[in-house]
Structure formats: C-alpha cells, structure tokens
Amino acid sequence: NAGVMQNPRHLVRRRGQEARLRCSPMKGHSHVYWYRQLPEEGLKFMVYLQKENIIDESGMPKERFSAEFPKEGPSILRIQQVVRGDSAAYFCASSPSREYEQYFGPGTRLTVT
C-alpha cells in the first residue's frame, strides 16, 4: 500500500510565476490536509479538503493561494504570482476519516528565485 505521494519533490519558480503542487492520498483516504513549513519553523496548517469540498481553509493566505481535491485525480495546491516568502516545504497528509491519524507525504520544496 503506497503512502502519500507528492510531486514534484522540488520546484523552482521565478517571482510572479505560478506553482502547482500535487498530492495523491493513500488508497482509501478521502481526507486531505495541506501544511506549510517555513525554513527553521514548525508546520502550519493551511487547508483541509474532502473529495470536491473545502472543509476548512482557515490557514490559507487570503490571496494567491487556492486548493482543490477533485472527484478524480490528486489534490492540487496552487500558488499564483509567487513571491520569495512562499519559499517553503509544503506537506500533504491524508486520512480515511476525520477521526483517524493523518499520514504525511514527503513534501514539495518550493524555491522562489
């Protein structure tokens, strides 16, 4: 049973470009969570999604960031017009339901130049 998959593992973008981060949850998991870890800091919750629905986006910056989890395919975290401050590791986690522990993927390291 494959774990949570994230791609790309490393992403370099110039300021002003768009970044798309993908997360495929574990098989049988329909709940997806995104977290961000800035350099030398702890992980911070961004958004929680179930299939086709955003349940909690209280941790998402108000502008430029969006997330989706379509009926088919991976969850996508999209960052428009990236700035240097967006450089971070972005982790996705999944669980089979809200009451179960979350399992994390290896992360995508975004570098904005």
Give the interface with other proteins as residue ranges (CB under 8 A).
4, 33, 35, 42-45, 48, 55-56, 58-59, 89, 91, 93, 98-99, 101-107, 109
To the nearest whole angstrom, how small is the minimum distance from the Cβ of residue 5 to other proteins?
A: 11
17 vs 37, beta carbon nearer other proteins: 37
Q: How would you classify residue 55: left for phi > 0, otherwise alpha for psi between -120 and 50, otherwise beta? A: alpha
Cβ burial, residue 109 (10 Å; 0-12/13-18/19+): middle
To the nearest whole angstrom, how small is the minimum distance from the Cβ of residue 37 to other proteins?
A: 8
Q: State yes or no: cis peptide before 70, omega within 30 of 0.
A: no
55 vs 83, beta carbon nearer other proteins: 55
To the nearest whole angstrom, how small is the minimum distance from the Cβ of residue 44 to other proteins?
A: 7
Phi, psi of 3 (to 5 degrees): -80, -165
